[in-house]
Amino acid sequence: MRSVQVTIKDIARELGISPSTVSRALKDHPDISIETKKAVTELAEKLNYTPNSIALSLRQQKTNTIGVIIPEIIHFFFSTVISGIEDIAYDAGYSVIVSQSNESYDREVMDSKALFNNRVDGMLISLSRETTQFDHLKSLFDRGVPMVFFDRVTDAINCSKVVVDDFGGSFEATEHLINQGYKRIAHLSGPKSLTISEVRLEGYKAALAKHNIPYDEKLVMRDKASEDEQSAKKLTEQLLSGPNPPDSLFAINDIAALGAMMAAKEKGLKIPKDFGIVGFSNWRFTSLTEPPMTTVNQPGFEMGQEAARLLIKQIEAKNDEVIEPETVELKTNLVIRGSSVPK
């Protein structure tokens, strides 16, 4: 800002006309004569004039900016979400400003304030792991700030949300294993306290039921399988060395899937020939993992797009128009890496 800034006034002075005429000429107002327009645009070009967005925002009471709060940018999933948001936002004439809460409640509070102070036209939020109280967002929402939650959502605020179809994804994952010919499918789950564990477990059960495979409680492992690889590995070892071992496994997330894979390999089992594994994932498995690996992926890009669409719809609603909050459940994608070897 200390830098040289060309303003409308500069152009007006140089051309001996008024700032308002310059302003109108620049936006191709019908009232302005062609000669004036020509002179103005040429000089603007020559001086490298670019409109000051700050002044514009203040004047229009609109920043054309969307604020995003995510837990961490280094997560592949959230990076994809951002790309999806930008994809829609740019086309609609909005820029995007991203801030990371780093999974901290305090940071989330600060971030939401900062975004409000910057008068973003709306916010897209994925809650930090620490957040259990929502006043900071509720008060903004009540003051009329358009808001959409994605992935990590809360029921405490009655606005639109975009989430993953956990049930459908788990169903699909489990059914995929069944379709490959596996009969005894284990499940590495998460703690009972987490809704997501329960929902994914339900999807697993539903797929079994559909194919008339009896549900065997002994095939479902919970404690900490979803938290670190080593636990997942141990639980899988336990399963594999039991009396009636599974021939395949559905893991609630990447961590669990990796642990399972390590256990199976150490047992000398070929994947997926001897042992099938599907993991629910919000990372992208790049070539860093060994194929063949099957995952049910969370649709990050699409989630970003959808959230941005919902938000922009709200922002651009006429003042009297009432937009009903809606919750969108996004279909997951089944991704098969490497060659899928049916049994």
Residues that bind DNA (CB under 7 A): 5, 7-9, 16-21, 23-27, 30-33, 35-36, 51-52, 55-56, 58-61
143 binds, among its own copies, DNA, none (CB under 5 to 8 A by kind): its own copies
* 26 versus 109: smaller Cβ distance to DNA: 26
**Three-state secondary structure call for residue 67:** strand
**Rounded CA separation 298/286 (Å):** 15
**Considering the complex, what minimum distance in angstroms separates the CB of residue 300 from its own copies?**
10
* 24 versus 75: smaller Cβ distance to DNA: 24
251 binds, among its own copies, DNA, none (CB under 5 to 8 A by kind): none
Q: Strand order of the sheet with strand 122-125?
A: 95-100, 65-70, 122-125, 147-150, 160-164, 327-330
Which spans of this chain sit near its own copies (rule: CB under 8 A)? 1-5, 48, 50-55, 57-58, 61-63, 73-74, 76, 79-80, 82-83, 86, 95, 97-100, 113-114, 116-119, 121, 139-140, 143-146, 229, 258, 285-289, 315, 319
* 22 versus 69: smaller Cβ distance to DNA: 22
**Considering the complex, what minimum distance in angstroms separates the CB of residue 41 from DNA?**
13
- Give the pair of three-digit tokens for residue 89: 């936002």
**Rounded CA separation 175/173 (Å):** 5
Query: What is the Cα 121 distance to its own chain's centre?
Result: 19
**Rounded CA separation 216/42 (Å):** 77
**Burial level of 275, CB count in 10 A (0-12/13-18/19+)?**
buried
**Considering the complex, what minimum distance in angstroms separates the CB of residue 283 from its own copies?**
8
83 binds, among DNA, its own copies, none (CB under 5 to 8 A by kind): its own copies
319 binds, among DNA, its own copies, none (CB under 5 to 8 A by kind): its own copies
258 binds, among DNA, its own copies, none (CB under 5 to 8 A by kind): its own copies
- Sign of the C-alpha dihedral computed for residues 194, 164, 298 and 79 taken in this order: negative
* 59 versus 243: smaller Cβ distance to DNA: 59
- Give the pair of three-digit tokens for residue 262: 């390590």
17 binds, among its own copies, DNA, none (CB under 5 to 8 A by kind): DNA
Distances from the Cα of 68 to the Cα of 106, 110, 112, 236, angstroms? 16, 13, 9, 38
114 binds, among its own copies, DNA, none (CB under 5 to 8 A by kind): its own copies
**Rounded CA separation 145/120 (Å):** 9
**Considering the complex, what minimum distance in angstroms separates the CB of residue 74 from its own copies?**
4
